[in-house]
């Protein structure tokens, strides 16, 4: 099936079992998942409760390539959440609809939240594996068909909540998380904690020192998140350098395409 269907499958997968039913964000109107994988899920912090609402808008139909009929429009019956692996300890999920079956042409949501505050032992990156089944009907005879997929483009990162208080930083502070996921096979993100708002630079270079990407970035007084698209580079080992007028921090990444 085409990418649009594969991406939407995360909807049905993303979450099941919980206590609080979510409400879709009405500001989103186009088919898709919000936040998308480029934006990523909200970070969690030790000592603080976690709650994320994922809005899901499923189209009524989509295009697929069929070996017999060529490119055809198929009707989406539903996208079903089967399971989610890799969540942090004491993190659960709940769907609206509660059975985690999202019919074609519908809007729903997924709530992902902690049942107790993360602790220092939970700090780290948790890649999610989201298993889904998409059911469609294929014209011209309305033949039912299914597709099973695993979505791996989302993750939750738990950070040290005691280290992000702005009062603990001065203007020269600059902390940079590890790039995650790493190796980079698609979209990954990097967190930057700055003691002062301003501009900085994000450089990506190879091991010979050649700069393959350079961009000016805007840093918040606190946490800023930036995305690295591995598809823009050849496979290999690279250095990611974040700098402001006071400090420079470098992290190593592997890109696999």
| pLDDT tens digits along 189-203 | 888 888 778 899 999
DSSP string, 92-143: EEEEESTT-EEETT-EEEEEEEESS---GGG-EEEE-EEEEEEEEEETTTTE
d(CA 155, CA 10): 13
Domain count, the chain: 2
Q: Is the pLDDT of residue 1 over 80?
A: no
**Higher pLDDT among residues 34 and 78, named by residue:** 78
| Domain final residue pick, 141, 158, 175 | 158
d(CA 235, CA 240): 15
d(CA 157, CA 198): 24
| pLDDT tens digits along 34-56 | 887 777 888 888 988 888 888 88
| Domain final residue pick, 124, 158, 192 | 158
Residues 25 and 151 grouped into a single domain:
yes
| Domain final residue pick, 108, 142, 158 | 158
Residues 168 and 153 grouped into a single domain:
no
Other CB atoms closer than 10 Å to residue 194's CB: what's the count?
25
| pLDDT tens digits along 98-156 | 999 999 999 998 888 889 999 999 998 898 888 888 999 987 778 898 999 888 888 89
């Amino acid at each position: 099936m085409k990418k649009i269907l594969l991406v939407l499958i995360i909807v049905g997968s993303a979450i099941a079992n919980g206590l609080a039913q979510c409400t879709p964000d009405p500001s989103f109107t186009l088919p898709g998942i919000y936040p998308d994988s480029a934006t990523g899920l909200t970070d969690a912090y030790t000592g603080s409760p976690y709650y994320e609402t994922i809005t899901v808008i499923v189209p009524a139909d989509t295009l697929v390539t069929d070996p017999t009929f060529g490119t055809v429009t198929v009707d989406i019956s539903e996208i079903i959440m089967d399971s989610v692996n890799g969540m942090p300890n004491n993190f659960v999920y709940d769907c609206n609809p509660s059975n985690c079956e999202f019919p074609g042409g519908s809007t729903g949501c997924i709530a992902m939240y902690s049942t107790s505050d993360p602790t220092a032992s939970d700090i780290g990156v948790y890649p999610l594996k989201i298993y889904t089944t998409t059911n469609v009907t294929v014209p011209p005879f309305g033949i039912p068909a299914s597709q099973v997929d695993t979505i791996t483009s989302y993750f939750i990162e738990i950070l040290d909540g005691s280290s992000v208080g702005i009062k603990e930083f001065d203007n020269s502070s600059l902390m940079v998380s590890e790039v995650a996921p790493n190796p980079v096979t698609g979209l990954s993100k990097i967190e930057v904690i700055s003691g002062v708002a301003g501009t900085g630079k994000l450089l990506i270079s190879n091991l010979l020192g050649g700069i393959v990407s350079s961009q000016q970035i805007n840093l918040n007084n606190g946490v800023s998140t930036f995305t690295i698209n591995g598809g823009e580079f050849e496979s290999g080992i690279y250095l990611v350098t974040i700098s402001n007028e006071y400090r420079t921090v470098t992290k190593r990444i592997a890109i696999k395409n």
